[in-house]
Amino acid sequence: MFNITHISFWIVFAALLFFTRKQRILWPLLALALLLLFNDIFTPGFFNLELREGHLYGTLIDILKHGGIVMLVSLGMTLVIATGGVDLSVGAVMAVAGAVLAQAAINHQSPFVAMIFALLVSLVLGAWNGLLVAGIGIQPIVATLILMVAGRGVAQLITEGQILNFTDATLVYIANGYLLGMPFTCTLVLVLLAVTYALTRGTALGLFIESVGDNDIASRYAGVNSRFVKFIAYVFAGFCAGLAGLVAASNIKSADANHAGLYAELDAILAVVIGGTALTGGRFYLLGSIVGALLIQTLTTTMYARNVSADIAPVPKALVVIAVCLLQSDKARRYFTRLFPRRNPPAAMTETLTAAAPKVEAGS
C-alpha cells in the first residue's frame, strides 16, 4: 500500500493550470482542483492507492471507473449540443442496450455477438432521433423526449419486466476488468475520445458541426448538408449511450430497465456545459466535457464520503455547476471586477512620487 506524493501531484496539476491559463478549459480544471484540494484536507485516505495483483485500487481509481459512464455519454452529447440540439433519450438508450445485452447473454449468444447487437440497436435508436430532428424537423427536445419516455418501455418489453442477470466473464470484464493496471473503462473512454477527436478535428466534420450549430441557414447556403450533419451527431450520441449502457450493465452484472441510465442525460448535459460548450451550439470542447464529467463524478464521490443524503445531494451539485458556469462567463467576471475594483494607490503617495520625479531628472 502506498500514497501518492502530494507535492508531485499538485505540481503537475499546477503546471496543467498554468499551461491552460488562457484557454476555456481552465475554469473546470480550477473547479476540479479546488474539489480535490477539499478532499485532500478533509477526507482521510482520499488520495491513497493500493496495488493488488498488478491492479490499482483507491478512491481516485473509483472516480475514473464510475465516471466513465458519464464521460462516454458526454462525448456524444457534446456533438449533439454543438449542432444546436439536445438528446434527452441517452439514459433510455442505455437501458435498452443493457437489456439487449443481458437477453442475448441469457440466450447463450456469444458475448461479442451480444455486444455488437446491443450497439447496433443503439445506432438504430440514435438514427431514429436523427430522423425526427433532421429529417422531419421536430424540435430536438421534443423528438428525443419521445424516446426518453418510450425507451424504458422498450427495455421493459425486452426484459419482460424482470432484472436479467448474467455471469459471462467477457461481459463482466467490460466494467470490472483491468488493462495495464487501470480499469478497462478508462481504455474505452480514451479510445472513444481519440476517435472522436480525430474525426472532428482531423477532418472537416468538426467544422461542419460548428457551422451548423452557429448558423444553420448560413451553413446551408454555404453548401453544408446540415440535415446529414445533425443526423450523424444523433447517431453518434446513440452509439455513445449504447456503449455506456454496456458498461452500466456490466458493472452490476445485470440489466435493470428501471434504473439503468437514470438521469444520465442530465449529468451529460451538465458535463458538456461545464466543459465550455454553449447550449446554443457552435464551438465544442471534447476535453472540456471529459473534465466536466470528472468534476461531476468527483463531486458525487465527495458527497458519498461526507455522508450526504441522496435526497440532498442535487443541491450542492447544482451550486457547484452554477459557480463553474459563472466563472466561465466573461460578463459575470466583469461584473465581479466592477463590484470589487482594485484599490488605487493613496493620493498622498501619488503626489509624492510625482513631485520626486523632476528631482531625479535634475540629479541625473
The predicted-structure confidence for 93-130, as pLDDT tens digits, reads as follows: 999 999 999 999 998 899 999 999 999 999 999 999 99
User: What is the average pLDDT score of the chain?
Assistant: 86
Cell numbers 482520499: residue: 46
Question: Residue 351 — very low, low, confident or very high, per pLDDT cuts 50/70/90?
Answer: low
> What is the distance between the terminal CA atoms of the chain, rounded to a whole angstrom?
68
Per the structure, the complete domain to which residue 227 belongs is given by 65-300
324-336 average pLDDT score: 74
Burial of 177 (0-12, 13-18, 19+ CB in 10 A): middle
pLDDT above 70: residue 4 = no
Total tally of structural domains belonging to the chain: 1
**Domain for residue 31, yes or no?**
no
**Domain for residue 145, yes or no?**
yes
Of the candidates 150, 153, 129, the one whose C-alpha atom is nearest the C-alpha of residue 141 is 129
pLDDT above 90: residue 349 = no
Length of the chain: 364
The DSSP 8-state label assigned to residue 340 in this structure reads: S
Q: What is the pLDDT of residue 287?
A: 93
Q: Taking CA 331 as the corner, what is the angle to CA 330 and CA 333, rounded to the nearest 5 degrees?
A: 65
Of the candidates 209, 210, 241, the one whose C-alpha atom is nearest the C-alpha of residue 69 is 241
**Domain for residue 254, yes or no?**
yes
**Domain for residue 262, yes or no?**
yes
E-assigned strand segments in the chain = 2-3, 48-52, 55-58, 164-165, 178-179, 182-183, 254-255
Residues 6 or more apart whose Cβ sits within 8 Å of residue 99: 154, 155, 158, 159, 164, 255, 257, 260
CA–CA dist 205, 232 (Å, integer): 10
Amino acid at 189: V
Question: Do residues 245 and 117 touch, judged by C-beta distance below 8 A?
Answer: no
Express each pLDDT in 199-218 by its tens digit. 999 999 999 999 999 988 99
pLDDT above 60: residue 270 = yes
Instruction: Using the CB atoms, write b or e for 258-293: b if 16+ within 10 Å.
Output: eebbeebbebbbbbbbbbbbbeebbebbbbbbbbbb
Question: Residue 323 — very low, low, confident or very high, per pLDDT cuts 50/70/90?
Answer: confident
Question: Residue 181 — very low, low, confident or very high, per pLDDT cuts 50/70/90?
Answer: confident
Q: What is the pLDDT of residue 45?
A: 82
Q: What is the pLDDT of residue 346?
A: 52
CA–CA dist 123, 242 (Å, integer): 8
**Domain for residue 361, yes or no?**
no
CA–CA dist 330, 321 (Å, integer): 16
328-340 average pLDDT score: 74
Which cell numbers in the block locate residue 10?
Answer: 499538485
Q: Write down the pTM of the prediction.
A: 0.87
**Domain for residue 223, yes or no?**
yes
Q: What is the pLDDT of residue 363?
A: 42
What whole-number percentage of the chain has pLDDT above 70? 91
pLDDT above 90: residue 91 = yes
**Domain for residue 35, yes or no?**
no
Question: Residue 282 — very low, low, confident or very high, per pLDDT cuts 50/70/90?
Answer: confident
pLDDT above 80: residue 92 = yes
**Domain for residue 104, yes or no?**
yes
Range from 10-24, 183-197, 203-217 carrying the lowest mean pLDDT: 10-24
Q: What is the pLDDT of residue 161?
A: 85
More confidently predicted of 5 and 92: 92
Q: What is the pLDDT of residue 344?
A: 55
Q: What is the pLDDT of residue 360?
A: 44
CA–CA dist 144, 132 (Å, integer): 8
Of the candidates 280, 288, 332, the one whose C-alpha atom is nearest the C-alpha of residue 23 is 288
244-266 average pLDDT score: 91
308-317 average pLDDT score: 75
